[in-house]
Structure 1
Amino acid sequence: MDKYPFTRDLVLIGGGHTHALVLRKWGMNPLAGVRVSVINPGPTAAYSGMLPGFVAGHYSRDDLDIDLVKLARFAGARMINGAVTGIDRTARTVTVPGRPPIGYDVLSIDVGITSQMPALDGFAAYGTPAKPLGAFAQAWDDYRARAKAPKIAVIGGGVAGAELALAMAHALQGKSPKLHLIDRGRALAALGDKARQKMLVALAGYGVEIIENAEVTQVFREGVLLRDGRLIHSDFTTGAAGAKPHDWIAGTELDLQDGFISVTAQLQTSDRAVFAVGDCAHMAASPRPKAGVYAVRQAPVLFDNLRAILSGGRLRDYKPQRDYLKLISLGQKSALAEKFGTVWQGPLLWRLKDRIDAKFMARLDDLPVMPPPQLPKIAAIGLRAALGDKPMCGGCGAKVGRAALQQVLGDAFGDDAGLVQTGQVITTDHLRALVADPVLMTRIAAIHALGDIWAMGATPQAATVQIILPRMESALQQRTMAEITATTTAVMSEAGARIAGGHSALGDELTIGFTITGLVDRPITQAGARAGDALILTKPIGSGTIMAGDMAGQARGADVIACLDLMVQSQAKAAAILHAAHAMTDVTGFGLLGHLRGICDASGTGAVLDWAQVPVMAGAAVLSARGVRSTLFADNQAGAGVVEGAVPDLAYDPQTAGGLLAAVAGHSADDLLGALTRAGYTAAIIGQITDGSAISLR
């Protein structure tokens, strides 16, 4: 819960080194009243300093990647997984395809550069640009695993290209690779004579053939064609020639230098509400080459200046150093260093580089545990125990337990939606936000509420939306409501329901809910399951554990994003496929066993659950083994009753926008599973309905 109302929107485009460090500093010292958003195409950003070591095989992909989801959670920021395609500086909005415009008061851009070669015939189809780093790292990982007789062409004979060629040669040395380093001029021309000679010796030692004064005119699947007619065979062609700004930057109408965003000594652009840092920026006051060391050292200045402009303070200057220590990996665990024309080489320098890189990544991975708010010295009996030892989960993790509801509601506790009249059902569902992004939270809440309609075998008809916004000034209220209403309209229209109104209010935190009606010929209730029926589950479980891990800073960002993607997966097609189910429910707050208990109690049956067949979200089992649990775990354990056999904790994990759990005729289960799989669901047959009343695991 945020203590103060939001009054300003700060949007960070890109997860470059500068922004990553700013997020860390913001989490330790946030500015009251500012809502922070981070936009990046993916949950991670690759650290450039460790890329050669990763390519050579010295580091894993996890070592290479900066986890932006974890940093955003630490900073209290909303993480938006998407690629920016434009900025409207008049409206002060950022465009990300597939969602409403994102409003800002202050904007910072740190998107790096690309080494794509759009003018080179065939490169887009058959070449792999060395930047952006994340996409290159994935492509190299895939190639290295499958390559048998590697043939590689590196276009661009600068330091970056040579460093990559050495790393590739080292990684593939057991496969007798053939590598060519191609430059349209003199290779390694940016280095001094001593450093250049040492690099040439290192390349020759790995058998890398250097082709100078050669222009590539076309890239084929089989290799590259030079202007003099030579064909260089290659099954992995990469481009490391120079730096190119991202195309969308040209449309911002900011002052540019060779396509890069010109910035002042304060890191501001020609628009004083927009900052730019890292390789995408041109430091007009003191031009410097593109190098990560400048991006890292811009972070404290950017942090201070963002706080200053958002609070009415004075901005300070960034003063880049004249030169810096260049540490170049030589394939094996050895490095070359150059500064002010002096050159060193050897394993000790690689160890120095490794130590510097490891220290940088540790700052972004080992985030400090911020102390919780202090309780008053004198408080009511039981307050400390009621607060617990961790924040309350969002989504279904914040619900009241099954056992408590059953005791209070009695016979009224049952099916997912209520029968209003013949042919019409109704449900209502509200969720405490589990992510800071209103757009994503709206999608999750809508799919979650629609799940009750789909579980009854009904077609969504009409919906009202109920919104509680955290306190914020009117301009931010308008931005947020626009995002929520546009998303609501899109999701409900896709589901076939019309919006019939709603209600909004301000409160302590974001809560989104829906009341939805549906039309149905034959309601599918939780009663009706028969002994011999097969149990089908249409989505993996584990969302409660992953989101609890996310809150605790223990979940991998990639696993969090994959979990959220599963939450917003519509169950409309699954419900249509399972229209003949004998009994059905959606697996949400009470966990898999709690909802299975609901079917068994209503149907007067038991069940056998084959745990090995239950699909589990990536990362959930690892977190569960560490003892990570949602705050609703204990209530779900009680609500599921007695279960025979060894029960994994994930069986009690509360799900948000979970899958459908259906009891279907045993003879039709395989055909239904095939149809679900073809429709894009990670579905599985997970057990069987039995006589009696016992639920057991095997």
Structure 2
Amino acid sequence: MLAQSVLTKDLVLIGGGHAHALVLRQWGMKPLAGARLTLINPAPTAPYSGMLPGHIAGHYTREALDIDLVKLARFAGARLVIGHATEIDPVAKTVTVEGGREIGYDVASVDIGIHAQMPDIPGFSEHACGAKPLDVYAAKWQDFLRAVAAGDAAPHVVVIGAGVAGVELALAMAHALRDHPNTKVHLIEAGDDITARAKAARAPLRAAMRDLGVALHARALVARITADHVVLADGAMLDSQFIVGTAGAFAHGWLQETALPLTPDGFIPVGQEFQVQGHDDLFAVGDCAEMLHDPRPKAGVFAVRAAPVLAHNLRAALTGGSMKPFKPQNDYLKLISMGGKRALAEKWGRAIALPGLWRWKDHIDQKFMQKFREYPAMSRGPETQEQALGGNDGDTAPLCGGCGSKVAPGSLTQALSKLDQPMPDEVLTGPGDDAAVMRVGGAVQVLTTDHLRAFTDDHGALARIAVNHAMGDIWAMGAQPKTAMLSVIMPRMSAAFQTRTMDEILAQVSAFLAEEQVALIGGHSSMGAEMTIGVSMTGLLPEGTQALTTAGAQPGDHLIMTRPIGSGTLLAGEMQGRADGRDVAQLMQSMAYSQGGEARLLQPHATAMTDVTGFGLAGHLMAICRASGVAAELDLRAVPTYPGAEVLAEAGVRSTIHDANKEAAPVNGADGSKGVLLHDPQTAGGFLAAVPERDVQAALDAFAAEGRQVFVIGQLQAGSPSILCR
């Protein structure tokens, strides 16, 4: 048995810029034993700036220029924390993420880019956007295009700043709007002319502007911006429904609130090894950094060239190795988009526009993005050739995490059926329902325990989801959660690492429990092969009420559920690198969201209730049918699914326990990918309740009044326990 590497160092990358993306890819090719890698980024994707003008013009979809950080993190063996960094403390060596979460580091690097907001112009913040961050600008542009197509907005655009970026974007937006009548694209420049680096580039760019009807306003200053006009300093008014600023590269304001050394303009000063002044364990790269030894323009090409040096120096900082200096090139080739599929090449003061340049630029951009679309298969070491009989059932897929790793329902049922033990009078219900119920003095207590095998390397997020998952059992029984005990198994790590990891876990657990006024009263921790988080909980039933169980449903009751299905398939797809990162990020956010409110709205109306977890919607519905002696009819079209789950199911992605779930709870008439998902194991799944027909509308109205989602998916009927889809 191979010895497990002991974790000793935390490397934290703040921001998913181009340099960090390349470092992550290189790390996946050659990870460092004993180091844990974390990426913090506001979104699950990061746009590639080189293809932005093409996207704005309509040549590329948004997906084409987005680096999927979820897939990249999986390949790199990194945890991805989605959220804005709001503080870096170089003394305590912590990064704070929005919401107050603190993440410790031994070595960290910052690659958060810049913004082009212009708050000094009255009305800019309310009515305009900067060209950076790119993802914000691109999303607002697509919204604007939809509004123009619907006739809700006039095709009037103003670009502030006629540098190369401003000209590129003005041409791209004019091209995208070229078929709309009355299109107006204005380009405002404080100087005498467009400000291309090479004077030779100005003539072909001006010609392209004339061809697409882009009007240049030179020697002009913006006085203020309104909802439909840009007012210039000379009093001229330009019609505008979409305004974008490109005249400047500004550092993110939150850096000013940190103890980091900064230049007068707010950028992070670094030396030739990218180390921040005065902090050898902190690095910065890309547009947010200022290379004091050799200042350069804010351009993505430098970040790409810097990546190999940064990767080497981060590894050196973690291992005590020697650093490499970064020596940027004196000049670089700039390929400028010209609206349509045309491009201009500029370097060494010369410029040329040829028909084939767009294809060349597209080839370069696609070659870069291909690095993040397909990852090389990494060797997992030699496999044992000899195997005991029955040891290979044909399932070679990796074991899922979360509820996808549960023991098969048939195996569990067989084991439980062999139990023959007397129950004390205080025990009202034993094994078989969501939780056990017992009488303690004059109170009725509900008890449950659950644990999750890690499906994400973000142990803070896993902890929050594990608590939510366990709490679902208490809510499903109609009780109010009161206490929790935590059980944590961590991979092998140093004592300092244990403390840092446990701090993160306890912070997230405590925050979630505080939201529900539940006390953490103890627990247990140990080290093992992998991260596993378990939670034991108690709850109290309101005085004079009985526990909601899977029994009690009646023919005619409607079936109501509160959350989509498909989490097991999405998590399995993410493990295989086949799920869309945006879908995974949305799922993770949903699983971490408390359902206490939904439970409280359902409890007054439900005759039977359960939470949909490891045995899937069909398995938990069958539990109600068997306990209540009824049959179920599902409206398959009404069953909600998480975005991306049906596509993955159609492609053959299955969670580990799927087939066993299907065998334990067969469904007649369940066709297609949605029928497959009826057996998908859910982690922190929604509630499934049987509600009398007379109460259904009242329940729906209660959910609507609080803005919560709820779905009516079928009805119960008289008959032997069974499930039919229609």
The answer to whether 1:398 aligns with 2:405 is yes
1:243-288 alpha-carbon deviations (Å, 9 max, x no partner): 0011122333434333221211111111111111111111222221
Change (3 A) 1:187 1:379: farther
**What is the CA distance between 1:37 and its match in structure 2?**
0.6
SS of 2:695's partner is helix
Q: What TM-score, normalized by structure 1, do the two folds share?
A: 0.97
- Partner residue, 2:133: 132
- Partner residue, 1:554: 578
- Partner residue, 1:631: 656
**What is the CA distance between 1:466 and its match in structure 2?**
0.8
SS of 2:498's partner is helix
- Partner residue, 1:695: 723
- Partner residue, 1:184: 190
- Partner residue, 1:168: 173
- Partner residue, 1:604: 629
State the alpha-carbon separation in 2 of the partners of residues 132 and 523 from structure 1: 52
Question: 1:627 is aligned with what amino acid?
Answer: G
State the alpha-carbon separation in 2 of the partners of residues 378 and 638 from structure 1: 30
- Partner residue, 1:479: 500
State the alpha-carbon separation in 2 of the partners of residues 382 and 275 from structure 1: 52
Q: Is the 8 A contact 1:223 1:237 kept in 2?
A: no
- Partner residue, 2:435: 417
The answer to whether 1:511 aligns with 2:518 is no
State the alpha-carbon separation in 2 of the partners of residues 13 and 671 from structure 1: 47
**What is the CA distance between 1:692 and its match in structure 2?**
0.8
State the alpha-carbon separation in 2 of the partners of residues 678 and 627 from structure 1: 39
Change (3 A) 1:465 1:212: same
Question: 2:723 is aligned with what amino acid?
Answer: I
State the alpha-carbon separation in 2 of the partners of residues 331 and 642 from structure 1: 54
Which range moves more in the overlay, 481-490 or 325-334?
481-490
- Partner residue, 1:269: 276
- Partner residue, 1:88: 89
1:440-484 alpha-carbon deviations (Å, 9 max, x no partner): 001100000000001001100111111111111111111111111
State the alpha-carbon separation in 2 of the partners of residues 202 and 75 from structure 1: 43
The answer to whether 1:156 aligns with 2:180 is no
Change (3 A) 1:160 1:644: closer
**What is the CA distance between 1:186 and its match in structure 2?**
2.9
SS of 1:466's partner is strand
Q: Superposition pairs for residues 423-572 of structure 1, below 5 Å?
A: 423-520=444-541, 521-572=545-596
State the alpha-carbon separation in 2 of the partners of residues 391 and 677 from structure 1: 41
Q: Superposition pairs for residues 59-458 of structure 1, below 5 Å?
A: 59-147=60-148, 148=151, 149-176=154-181, 177-257=183-263, 258-270=265-277, 271-385=279-393, 388-410=395-417, 413-421=431-439, 423-458=444-479
The answer to whether 1:593 aligns with 2:618 is yes
State the alpha-carbon separation in 2 of the partners of residues 310 and 552 from structure 1: 29
Q: Is the 8 A contact 1:540 1:659 kept in 2?
A: yes
Q: Is the 8 A contact 1:539 1:681 kept in 2?
A: no
Q: Is the 8 A contact 1:401 1:632 kept in 2?
A: yes
State the alpha-carbon separation in 2 of the partners of residues 81 and 430 from structure 1: 23
Question: 2:590 is aligned with what amino acid?
Answer: L
**What is the CA distance between 1:342 and its match in structure 2?**
2.2
**What is the CA distance between 1:2 and its match in structure 2?**
9.8
SS of 2:345's partner is strand
SS of 2:249's partner is coil
Q: Is the 8 A contact 1:2 1:509 kept in 2?
A: no
Question: 1:575 is aligned with what amino acid?
Answer: A
**What is the CA distance between 1:193 and its match in structure 2?**
2.1
Q: How many corresponding residue pairs?
A: 697
- Partner residue, 2:423: none
Identity of aligned residues (%): 51
SS of 1:131's partner is coil
1:506-535 alpha-carbon deviations (Å, 9 max, x no partner): 111111111111111221000011110000
- Partner residue, 1:13: 14
**What is the CA distance between 1:678 and its match in structure 2?**
4.0
Change (3 A) 1:667 1:441: same
Q: Is the 8 A contact 1:99 1:439 kept in 2?
A: no
Which range moves more in the overlay, 189-198 or 348-357?
189-198
Q: Is the 8 A contact 2:636 2:670 kept in 1?
A: no
| Structure 2 unaligned residues grouped into runs of 5+ | 420-429
1:15-42 alpha-carbon deviations (Å, 9 max, x no partner): 0001111111111110000111100111
SS of 2:483's partner is strand
**What is the CA distance between 1:413 and its match in structure 2?**
4.3
Q: Is the 8 A contact 2:670 2:676 kept in 1?
A: no
Which range moves more in the overlay, 283-292 or 613-622?
283-292
**What is the CA distance between 1:433 and its match in structure 2?**
1.0
Q: Is the 8 A contact 2:446 2:539 kept in 1?
A: yes
State the alpha-carbon separation in 1 of the partners of residues 486 and 335 from structure 2: 57
Which range moves more in the overlay, 90-99 or 545-554?
90-99
**What is the CA distance between 1:499 and its match in structure 2?**
1.3
- Partner residue, 2:33: 32
Change (3 A) 1:46 1:643: same
**What is the CA distance between 1:65 and its match in structure 2?**
0.8
Q: Is the 8 A contact 2:159 2:187 kept in 1?
A: yes
State the alpha-carbon separation in 1 of the partners of residues 407 and 707 from structure 2: 32
The answer to whether 1:660 aligns with 2:660 is no
Q: Is the 8 A contact 1:537 1:684 kept in 2?
A: yes
**What is the CA distance between 1:99 and its match in structure 2?**
4.1
**What is the CA distance between 1:616 and its match in structure 2?**
0.4
SS of 1:45's partner is strand
Q: Superposition pairs for residues 607-626 of structure 1, below 5 Å?
A: 607-626=632-651
Q: Is the 8 A contact 2:85 2:97 kept in 1?
A: yes
Which range moves more in the overlay, 524-533 or 339-348?
339-348
State the alpha-carbon separation in 2 of the partners of residues 227 and 36 from structure 1: 51
The answer to whether 1:679 aligns with 2:706 is yes
State the alpha-carbon separation in 1 of the partners of residues 414 and 28 from structure 2: 42
1:18-69 alpha-carbon deviations (Å, 9 max, x no partner): 1111111111110000111100111111110000000000000100111111
Q: Is the 8 A contact 2:404 2:568 kept in 1?
A: yes
SS of 1:364's partner is coil
| Structure 1 unaligned residues grouped into runs of 5+ | none
1:96-117 alpha-carbon deviations (Å, 9 max, x no partner): 1214311000010111110011
State the alpha-carbon separation in 1 of the partners of residues 103 and 197 from structure 2: 43
Question: 1:542 is aligned with what amino acid?
Answer: G
SS of 2:185's partner is strand
Q: Is the 8 A contact 1:538 1:676 kept in 2?
A: no
Question: 1:551 is aligned with what amino acid?
Answer: M
Question: 1:106 is aligned with what amino acid?
Answer: V
Q: Is the 8 A contact 1:615 1:683 kept in 2?
A: no
SS of 2:294's partner is coil
- Partner residue, 2:427: none
